[in-house]
Structure 1
Amino acid sequence: MRELQIVDAAELASTYAAAEYVVVLDGDAFPLRVGEPALDLEAYAPASRYTFITAWNPASQPRSDTANEAADALLVAQLETLGATRHPAWAQDVAGRWREPGWLVADLDASTVLRLAEEFGQAGVLDWAASEPVRLRMLASPPAGAAVAHTDWLPA
């Protein structure tokens, strides 16, 4: 397991919560927003639980495309071993200057989501139950005074 070194967890959580997330299903793009239900996506791909996860840029520290693609291949292999249904997805900042590929995964239990996020050095994932608003799960202790809506802090 990796030890994350996050300089400003509250700022990072705010950035993640404001980011735009998109899932591609059969050529159609379905947007995800933290704090909003994803009813169109859920109707198209029914499941009881959804997770957006990536293996790119652990702890939001930029890495080469080669390193990121290798990490992504390892994540995909683990998802396949789990028999998890996955769909291509990405996250990007609202200005469109940064974009990071990931996966929407259906029906992973919370402990598996946490294990994968920790293993791939992720500071946060999106994870929510069907019909509920999309939630940001940060893998860090909550900083004093941190109040990021629809965010859960999961200390490692």
Structure 2
Amino acid sequence: MRELQVVNAAELALAYAAAEYAVALDGDALPLRVGRPARDLEAYWPAARYLFVSAWNPASHPHSDSANQAADERLVARLNTAGVQRHAAWAQDEAGQWREPGWLLADLDDSVANTLARDFGQAGVLAWRRGEPVRLRMLIARPADAQPAAHTEWVAD
């Protein structure tokens, strides 16, 4: 597991919560937004739990495309070995200036999901249960200056 060094975790959480997310299912792009239910996705792909995770840009520090693709290949190999169901997904900022590929996973328990994300250097993931709003789970300690947010949780070791 990596020790993440995030410059401003409070700002990072706000950016993650404001980002636009989507998952590709049979040629459709179904949107995901923190704080909103994902009814279309859940109807299309029923599961008890969902997790959006990426292997790109650990700790939100830019890496080369080749390094990011290699990390993604390691993540996919691990998911294949574990037999985890998944669909291609992505995150992007509201302005469309930044886009990061990832995976929407089904039915991982929280501890497995957190370990997976941390093993790939991720500071946060989207995680929610069927029928509930999409939540942002920050996998680092909550800084003192982080404002409360209804759909953001902080889960440090």
TM-score of the superposition, structure 2-length normalised? Answer: 0.97
Runs of 4+ in 1 over 6 A off after TM superposition: none
1:13 aligns with 2:13: yes
Amino acid at match of 1:22: A
Give the aligned partner of residue 151 of structure 1: 152
Q: Deviations over 1:85-142 (max 9, x none)?
A: 1000000000000000000000011111111111000000000000000000001111
Unmatched 5+ stretches in structure 2: none
Distance 1:82 1:128 in 2: 20
Unmatched 5+ stretches in structure 1: none
Secondary structure at the counterpart of residue 71 of structure 1? helix
Conservation of the 8 A alpha-carbon contact between 1:34 and 1:136: yes
Aligned pairs for 1:75-90 (under 5 A) are 75-90=75-90
TM-score of the superposition, structure 1-length normalised? Answer: 0.98
Q: Deviations over 1:58-96 (max 9, x none)?
A: 000000010000000010111111111100000000000
Give the aligned partner of residue 124 of structure 1: 124
Give the aligned partner of residue 91 of structure 1: 91
Secondary structure at the counterpart of residue 42 of structure 1? helix
**Once superposed, what is the RMSD of the aligned Cα atoms?**
0.7
Deviation at 1:24, TM superposition (A): 0.4
Distance 2:7 2:64 in 1: 21
Percent identity over the alignment?
68
Deviation at 1:52, TM superposition (A): 0.2
Amino acid at match of 1:4: L
Q: Deviations over 1:9-34 (max 9, x none)?
A: 11000000000001000000100000
